[in-house]
Structure 1
Amino acid sequence: MFATATRNFVEEVDPGGLLIPVRSLNDSIAPLTVVVSQKRFWFWQKPKHLPTDFTLNDILTGDTPITPVVTETDFIKYNGTYDENIQGTIDATFIHSNVNMEGKDTSKLQFSFGSLKKDEVDVRRLLQDSKNRLLDMSHCLIQQTKKKRQVFGVVKERIVTSQPCSVVEEVQQAEQCTGTLSLCGLNSSKVSLKDDGSLSKVSTEIPTNTTLAYALIDLEVKHDGRYELCLMSNKGGFEVDGPTQKSLVGVTGAPGGQNNPDVSHLTRELENVCAHFQLLAALPASSRSSLLKSITALTQDRAALSALQSLLDQMLLEKSVNVADVSEAHERSIRPVLEVLKEAERVSEAQTERSVSVLSALHLIISALDELTCDSLAALRVCSSPDVLKIMELLVQRLSGSGESPESGADEAALPEDVLSGVEHLLASSGVSLQRDGDAARSQIKQMQQAGNRPLVMCIALRGLHSLNPR
């Protein structure tokens, strides 16, 4: 809940900026705290930041510590409410069955952060103090980080609370489904099920001087321990002998395309991962149905989704997984996905060798979902029923192709208005506009430069979910 609150806070006050949300109240973030940034599998993923128990002084040689000059200023007064209303109705008549399903989830997350302060390190003074200083290359943190080819950064700015505050989450669920057909829809409801709703409320108290977000300055480390502060970019790391080692996995996007995406770039990157979607679509219908149901449920719990993403990272890197490292509540949420994955991998190994694995294909989808903003993820849940996913796949095709398909525009017109508004909201939150003209629909990236990789991430998430559609 705290991680969701800080992530929402950063998305509101510094979208696309340098601030990094704090994930846990146990993270102790102070000026010059050393943070390890892990490079990710896919170029569109933001680095994963791991705060350490050390400061820059702890890993320097010599007995004279660097005393940072820190300026404290008022930042903003922030008290917000994040409402998430997920509501939909589906009426369908098939040859042998019919179904009527209504569902509504209401989630409210209230942030009462109050007046916030900003601590900023004087970077000019830090530059002067860093001259002729050396890192202790024998320090255990440096040795472990260097082996895994990660990046060191030190905290140069942080946003902290100036008074006791709280985060309160209220969740109410209600659903009704009647008919003769089971659907994997908004609440994964079954036939003839009624639930008048349940309300849960959780409150977290946050003490004074708690860091909510921070910004880093990366270090470029030489063999002999000399280091430079990366002032204009985040391209730090350790000096290596020979060519730089490439990522284990990744979409092969050109560096220029990452910063200035266009439709051709989007199309090219979707083609690069087409085999991942095809592999998932070839799984047995029961496996696809189970995965779609479990993953859709995970989108309601950002922390559990991130925990699954981290486990899949671990499985790709180490070919093993330790579920004991996950909290009991998250373990219950992600275990169904891991069980289906284990069975699918076993079947896949018995078949002919493929260019990609089920693990890497599932990792791609979960990584894309975890990269979505909280606002986009909430809108996505409205679009996660099999019928809506078919229509969303058409929109993805149009966005990465001609962008318009009048002959199938009636698909959008057939959607209930509340679902259609959810579709438009998802596209808008990902930098894509949906323009309707009668039965024709045109989807296009609104502003290429500002959109960044958001349209690509959304398309990968939608196309991945659609590949799990059992229909």
Structure 2
Amino acid sequence: MFATATRNFVEEVDHGGLLIPVSSLNDTIALLTVVVKRKRFWFWQRPKYIPTDFTLNDILTGDTPIQPGVIELDFIKYNGTFGDNISGTVDAKFPLSGVSLEGKDSSKLQSSFGSLKKDEVDVQKLLRDSKERLLDMSHCLVQQTKEKHKQSFGIVKERIVTTQPCSVIEEVQQGGQCGAGLSLCGPKTPKFSLKENGNLSKDSNVTMEIPIHTTIAYALIELEIKHDGRFGLCLMSDTRGGFEVDGPAKKGLSGASASENSHLTQELEGLSNHFQLLSALPANTKSALLKQITKVMEDRGAVSPLQSVLDQVCLDKRPALSDVTATESQKQSIQAILDLLEGSDQEGSRPVLTALHLVISAMDEMKSDCLAVLGTCCSLPVLEALELLVQCVSGEGELPLSGAGRAALTDDVYEKSQRLFASSNVSLKRDGDTVKTEIKQLPGHLPLVLCIAVRGLASLAG
């Protein structure tokens, strides 16, 4: 709840900016706190930020601490409500079961942070005070961070802090009618009633009280560190920090391209083998994976823990679910997916794991409203329509509404598609018998991650 609330806050007030949402109430974020920035598996993923228990002064040589000048400013008064209402009828045929589901779901997350303030470091004073200082390169935190690939240091230069006790409230209501066996399709907690050809209902209302002086978001200055401990502050937003390396540094994975459309085409073609691997899985495994992934998408907070677990598995580590920050129902969903992957354990299963990791990582990069809409699109006809639109976005930008296009893009599907693509900085417009797509200026990686998620889900549904 807290992580979702802070992520929504940053998306609303500083989308594409420098603010980083705090993901856990256990994180203590003060000015000059050292934060480890770790690059992720896929180039388009946002870095992972890991707050440490140390400040800049703790890893400096010498006995004289830096005293930062602090500027306090009123920020904004923030109360946000995010939610969706979903209704519809689904008929699905799977190898092991047939399901019909009729229902109405609604969820609401209300974040009442109240009046917020911003604490800022006086960067000019920090520059003067740190000019002749050295990092202690023998410090355990410096040694451990330097040894690991793709990690760097940042220090907290500003933070957004609550000024009064506040709350985050989550309300969920689910109701409907189910037919046939529905053992894998029920709600996510034991608080439900379910019968064959019966009714399904669930209501929950959870309130989290947030204490005063809680940091909900922060921004960093990255450090560029030399072998001898000298360091510089990266003051420009496009300047990246890191440790000095021996020999030339490797260049990034993504270069400039002629257009956003051709860029998308190149990236998706490079990933096509992953989608083919998912499509080639046995039908039973594909349908079970799709059901479990759909269940995870219904609970936005479950996507990030699943992505983190798959991170560990891809690194040949065995993650302990007891150490994962997630609810019991989320852990059950994650374990079900891991069990399915183990059940398909055979030669070549590692590439399948990487392919699924790709798709879940793309979902984790999506905006909350985009993921919520995508979660309602996991039937085969809708995914086929979305895949046609993905081909359109990454191709010529036009889809004739004839033949397969006309049959797939019903009014209801088109309306959902418009919302979905708009959340990813892509516009859809009907022009006579043609649907035209246009990628907005400075779209970031959102169009790419949407295309990856759609292609992945369609591979499992096909």
The CA deviation at 1:192 is 5.4
The CA distance in 1 between the partners of 2:244 and 2:303, in whole Å, is 34
The CA distance in 2 between the partners of 1:143 and 1:14, in whole Å, is 33
Alignment equivalent of 1:464, drawn from 443, 456, 462: 456
The CA distance in 1 between the partners of 2:339 and 2:185, in whole Å, is 21
The code of the aligned residue for 1:131 comes to K
Paired residue for 1:144?
A: 144
Paired residue for 1:210?
A: 214
Paired residue for 1:221?
A: 225
Deviations 1:382-440 (A, max 9, x none): 2122221111111111111122232233134435x3x5422211110001111124553
Paired residue for 1:300?
A: 298
The CA distance in 2 between the partners of 1:396 and 1:191, in whole Å, is 39
The CA distance in 2 between the partners of 1:92 and 1:314, in whole Å, is 33
Question: Any idea what SS the aligned residue of 2:65 has?
Answer: coil
Paired residue for 1:448?
A: 441
Matched ranges for 1:249-268 at <5 A: 252-254=253-255, 256-257=256-257, 262-268=260-266
The CA distance in 2 between the partners of 1:166 and 1:92, in whole Å, is 40
Question: Any idea what SS the aligned residue of 2:344 has?
Answer: helix
The code of the aligned residue for 2:367 comes to T
Question: Any idea what SS the aligned residue of 2:397 has?
Answer: coil
Matched ranges for 1:116-135 at <5 A: 116-135=116-135
The CA distance in 1 between the partners of 2:167 and 2:390, in whole Å, is 40
Deviates more, 1:431-440 or 1:337-346: 431-440
Q: Which runs of 5+ in 2 are unaligned?
A: 189-193
**2:405 paired with 1:409:** yes
Matched ranges for 1:108-257 at <5 A: 108-149=108-149, 150-178=151-179, 193-232=197-236, 233-244=238-249, 252-254=253-255, 256-257=256-257
Question: Any idea what SS the aligned residue of 1:346 has?
Answer: coil
Is contact 1:120–1:157 with CA below 8 Å preserved after alignment? yes
The code of the aligned residue for 1:320 comes to R
Is contact 1:61–1:135 with CA below 8 Å preserved after alignment? yes
Paired residue for 2:424?
A: 430
Question: Any idea what SS the aligned residue of 1:448 has?
Answer: coil
Length-normalised TM-score, structure 1: 0.89
The code of the aligned residue for 1:409 comes to G
Distance 1:122 1:100, change over 3 A: same
The CA deviation at 1:118 is 0.5
The CA deviation at 1:367 is 0.4
The CA distance in 2 between the partners of 1:388 and 1:184, in whole Å, is 21
Deviates more, 1:334-343 or 1:204-213: 334-343
Paired residue for 2:415?
A: 421
The CA deviation at 1:465 is 0.7
Distance 1:107 1:39, change over 3 A: same
Deviations 1:201-225 (A, max 9, x none): 1000001110010000100000000
The CA distance in 2 between the partners of 1:425 and 1:452, in whole Å, is 18
The CA distance in 2 between the partners of 1:270 and 1:283, in whole Å, is 20
The CA distance in 2 between the partners of 1:465 and 1:421, in whole Å, is 19
The CA distance in 2 between the partners of 1:385 and 1:193, in whole Å, is 21
The CA distance in 2 between the partners of 1:193 and 1:14, in whole Å, is 47
Paired residue for 2:191?
A: none
The CA deviation at 1:368 is 0.1
Total equivalences in the alignment: 450
Paired residue for 2:321?
A: 323
Deviations 1:165-184 (A, max 9, x none): 00000011113244x79899
Distance 1:454 1:389, change over 3 A: same
Is contact 1:427–1:434 with CA below 8 Å preserved after alignment? yes
Is contact 2:89–2:102 with CA below 8 Å preserved after alignment? yes
Distance 1:238 1:181, change over 3 A: same
Is contact 1:345–1:359 with CA below 8 Å preserved after alignment? no
Aligned-pair identity in percent equals 59
The code of the aligned residue for 2:207 comes to S
Deviations 1:310-351 (A, max 9, x none): 1111122244333332256132120111111122242535xx
The CA deviation at 1:359 is 1.4
Deviations 1:43-88 (A, max 9, x none): 1111000001100000000000001111111100001211221222
The CA distance in 2 between the partners of 1:54 and 1:266, in whole Å, is 41
Question: Any idea what SS the aligned residue of 2:378 has?
Answer: coil
The code of the aligned residue for 1:287 comes to T
The CA distance in 2 between the partners of 1:225 and 1:111, in whole Å, is 43
Is contact 1:185–1:386 with CA below 8 Å preserved after alignment? no
Question: Any idea what SS the aligned residue of 1:401 has?
Answer: coil
Paired residue for 1:353?
A: none
RMSD: 2.7
Paired residue for 1:352?
A: none
The CA distance in 1 between the partners of 2:123 and 2:225, in whole Å, is 18
Question: Any idea what SS the aligned residue of 1:169 has?
Answer: strand
Question: Any idea what SS the aligned residue of 1:270 has?
Answer: helix
Deviations 1:10-57 (A, max 9, x none): 000111110000000110001000000101111111100000110000
Length-normalised TM-score, structure 2: 0.91
The CA distance in 1 between the partners of 2:431 and 2:3, in whole Å, is 41
The code of the aligned residue for 1:137 comes to M
Deviates more, 1:271-280 or 1:374-383: 374-383
Deviations 1:232-251 (A, max 9, x none): 1341010111233689xxxx
The code of the aligned residue for 1:410 comes to R
Is contact 1:85–1:106 with CA below 8 Å preserved after alignment? yes
Is contact 1:186–1:382 with CA below 8 Å preserved after alignment? no
Is contact 2:370–2:420 with CA below 8 Å preserved after alignment? yes
Question: Any idea what SS the aligned residue of 2:113 has?
Answer: strand
Deviations 1:285-316 (A, max 9, x none): 11111111111111122332111111111122
The CA distance in 2 between the partners of 1:400 and 1:385, in whole Å, is 22
Deviations 1:99-144 (A, max 9, x none): 8642322111111111000011111111111111000111110111
The CA distance in 2 between the partners of 1:39 and 1:67, in whole Å, is 30
